[in-house]
Amino acid sequence: MTPRVYLERDGGIAVIVIDNPPINAGSAAVRQGLMAAIETLRNDDTLEGAVLIGAGNTFIAGSDLREFGQPLTEPQLPAVIAAIEACGKPVVAALHGAAQGGGFELALGCDARVAAPGTVVGLPEVTLGIIPGAGGTQRLPRIVGIPPAIRMICSGERVLAAAALEAGLVDLIATGNLRSAAVAHARQLKGQKRLVRDRQVPPASSADVATATTAAPQAGKRRPAVQAAIDAITATAQVGFDDGLADERAVFQRLRVSREAFALRHQFFAERESAKHPSLGEATARPVERVAVIGAGTMGSGIAIAALDAGYRVLLLEQDAAALERGTGRIHAHYASRVQGGKLSASAAAACEARLQTSLDWADLASADLVIEAVFEELGVKQQVFQRIDALARPGAVLASNTSYLDLDAIAAATSRPHDVIGLHFFSPAHVMKLMEVVRGQSSAPDALATGLAVGKRLKKMPVLTGNAFGFIGNRLYAAYRRQCECMVEEGAWPEQVDAALRAFGFAMGPFAVADLSGLDIAWRMRQAQAATRDPQARYVHIPDRLCEAGRLGRKTGAGYYRYPEGDQGPQVDEAVHALIAQARADKGLQPRELGDDEIVRRALLAIVNEAALLLAEGVAERATDVDVVLVNGYGFPRWEGGPVFWARERGAAALQEDMLWLAQLSGPGFVTGDLRHLLTPEN
């Protein structure tokens, strides 16, 4: 087995190589190896200094998160850094790839940092419910000052090499061989220690600290780790370095075993697992450089922007000149606003727009490697589009539908090559939302699916593989969640109460505000499509249909579950909606009752959990944890709650079974209880 850490000699410089593939995670074995290497450096009089460097593609991309939920093995990282500081000889960190979390804390504990171009550094611990625990909150402020340290740590900011050099986080960017540059830099130090811990914290005005302190909780969703990080950073101006280190470590140790940290680690590993697809075997993605998007509406133009941002050449195709002009205008306005807001350079925006071709000529599809259909969500319309695509797209091109709930196999049947057809379900706005469902049809070829997943990664999405079923994973789960919320309104809750309770739990928006935002007619069409196959005995809530029949389709009509006065973007409670709901209850002979917020949240989550069990039994979702990835990345489920599967596993089998009996009784006829065993068994 390859040693985790080994020492090579370059003249009087020890080159300490960290070799723990794939990301050189800072595991217990790595820490032990580093301690042994530093001890060799300290005791060997022929060595005048050292370089720490990672084997493979990266420095240390972070600590081994699997250790965080267990008793930590000695030596812990602070002890390794203390040994580097006390060894009496300079140590230079040679950074490439990523130096994040504990990896960057280790680098900050060295005497100097040399980085390869393209290196990314940062301290993202708060995104995992903890704070830096090996001096990050104490050393970073000594380099950049307290306000920038608050911003960087509380947002988990990733800093590229050029910006890191400007901020003083690295001392040199290597123009040639990184190892050679780091060894040369170590020699230049001539045996002198230059420790960050010895620096004074740069003075900062109370106003600047207050501004950074106020902004940080907003960026961090006001989570406990954010406030703890602020406290640790601001303490650097009042306490000694060693006291600050001890206080930081105590907070880190407390937070790493908190429920929130466990939930965030669960989501981290769920996202990592969702990228693995053993069912595709050894299939490799087809090459894609030119993407055609059919439909220049809001969704189509958003997909085009996402593809342009990823470096693809994009054809935006429409059959209506006015629609194409509007779509092109949306794309130009997007890049103009990015430049104006300082988010993108003018040259980068121009390069993106230069890759865009717009056309009304369907024959232009012949040059595309991937064709993405983004037209009206109606089966007949999509089938006609795919007949035209089939006649014009080159052999081997992947043909993708952006359908959000229609039968992909029925769409693929309109072509002579269903093996090339997959679903790529983007979420609106397509250039912003991270989730992308890659839908497997009955005939979809493994390499076509692998292509969809690879494109999703290049688009910086979170691609999740799903089977072909009505609503796939996300919309199927959300429909069950929304139905349960509608049941609670029918029973006595008001829409604003349900929304408030679920926002307090942590959802980005409540279900009724979301419905107004997306348009009530979308779900109405889905219900109409399912009407013929719906169990006539099943409970059905007519309230959303009555809103649609009254012309209340949401924000776009100025009224839905809420009203939206002209010039005011915020939803307003509408007594007309209360009256409509009261009449719907009376028509069913229902006596309204009070529902507490705890019941609202519990029933909403149980509805998602139950539907997830059904999806897993049907094979629509490959892994239970894919449900958590979908809900967190696409539907505003609070990341710090881990996801509905994490929530269900916490409750335990007996309590969850009892919960489901309760939910079934409240939900009435037609409620189908899923087999919870599919959810409760961890994948590994």
Q: Which residues are annotated as catalytic? A: 105, 125
Q: Which residues touch 258 (CB under 8 Å, ≥6 apart)? A: 129, 224
Q: Measure the CA–CA gap between 436 and 104, rounded to whole angstroms.
A: 31
Q: Measure the CA–CA gap between 35 and 27, rounded to whole angstroms.
A: 13
**In 10 A of CB 294, how many CB atoms?**
26
CA distances from 224 to 154, 248, 507, 512, 641 (A): 11, 14, 17, 28, 13
Q: Measure the CA–CA gap between 213 and 222, rounded to whole angstroms.
A: 11
User: Phi then psi for 190, rounded to 5 degrees?
Assistant: 50, 45
Cα radius of gyration rounded to whole Å, the chain: 28
Q: Measure the CA–CA gap between 479 and 501, rounded to whole angstroms.
A: 18
Tokens 């979308």: give the residue.
522
Q: Are 308 and 349 in contact (CB under 8 A)?
A: no
What angle is formed at CA 624 by the lines to CA 303 and CA 633, rounded to 5 degrees?
30
Residue 401: both structure tokens together: 């539908």
Helices (H), 235-320: 241-256, 259-274, 298-309
Helices (H), 310-345: 321-340
β partners of residue 462: 435
CA distances from 33 to 37, 55, 80, 126, 193 (A): 6, 14, 10, 27, 22
β partners of residue 359: 317
Can you point out the beta strands (E) in 505-643?
none
Q: Measure the CA–CA gap between 218 and 148, rounded to whole angstroms.
A: 15
In this structure, which amino acid lies at residue 585? R
Q: Measure the CA–CA gap between 185 and 15, rounded to whole angstroms.
A: 12
DSSP state of 572: B
**N-to-C CA span, the chain:** 24
Buried b (16+ CB within 10 A) or exposed e, 428-443: eebbebbbbbbbbbeb
Containing 527, the helix (H) or strand (E) segment is helix 520-530
In this structure, which amino acid lies at residue 536? P
Identify the three-state secondary structure at position 153. helix
Q: Measure the CA–CA gap between 462 and 634, rounded to whole angstroms.
A: 9
Select from 683, 9, 639 the least CA-distant residue to 267: 639
**Edge-to-edge strand ranges of the sheet holding 120-122:** 98-100, 120-122, 158-160
Q: Which residues touch 150 (CB under 8 Å, ≥6 apart)? A: 209, 212, 213, 216, 229, 230, 233, 234
Longest CA–CA span in the chain (Å) reads: 91
Q: Measure the CA–CA gap between 510 and 488, rounded to whole angstroms.
A: 13
Q: Measure the CA–CA gap between 494 and 500, rounded to whole angstroms.
A: 10
Q: Measure the CA–CA gap between 266 and 272, rounded to whole angstroms.
A: 10
Q: Measure the CA–CA gap between 325 and 305, rounded to whole angstroms.
A: 15
User: Phi then psi for 404, rounded to 5 degrees?
Assistant: -100, -15
**In 10 A of CB 32, how many CB atoms?**
16
